[in-house]
Structure 1
Amino acid sequence: MAYADLLARLRAGLDPVTVGAFPDGSVDDYYRLRDGATTVASREAFATAITAGRDSFQLAHVRTEAGGQAVNAARQAAALGDDVTLIGHLDHPAFDADFGFETASMGAPARVRVCLFDADDVMFVEESADLSAWTFADLRTVLAEPVADFLERDALCCTNWASTPGLGDAMHEIAARDPDGGVFCVDPGPLTTAGARNLLDALRPLGDAYEVVVSVNEDEASRLAAATDGGASEDPTAAGTLDAVRSAAGATGVVVHGTAAAVAATPAGRTAVPTLDVSRALTETGAGDRFSAALARSLADGWEWDLAVAAGNACASHYVTGAGTATPATLADHVATHRPT
Structure 2
Amino acid sequence: MGDEIMTTQKRGLLLVNLGSPVSPLTKDVRAYLQEFLSDQHVVTLPKWFWQPLLRGIILPMRSWRSATFYQHMWRKDGSPLVIYTQKMQEKVQKRLPNWDVRYAMTYGQPDIGETLHDMQNAGDDQIVVLPLFPQYTQSTHGGIIQQVRDSGVKVAFIRHFYQQPQYVKILAKQVDASYQKGDYDAVVFSYHGIPSAMVKHGDPYLKECRETTAAVTKLLKLPHDKVSMAFQSKFGPAPWLKPYLKNTLMQLAAMGKRNVLIVTPSFVEDCLETIEENDVQNYQTFRASGGQVFDAVPPMNASDDFCDFLATISAEELSDVGGRTSEN
TM score, norm. by length of structure 2? 0.28
More relative contact order, 1 or 2 (CA 8 Å, 6+ apart): 2
Larger proportion of helix: 2
Larger proportion of strand: 1
TM score, norm. by length of structure 1? 0.28
Structure with higher Rg: it is 2
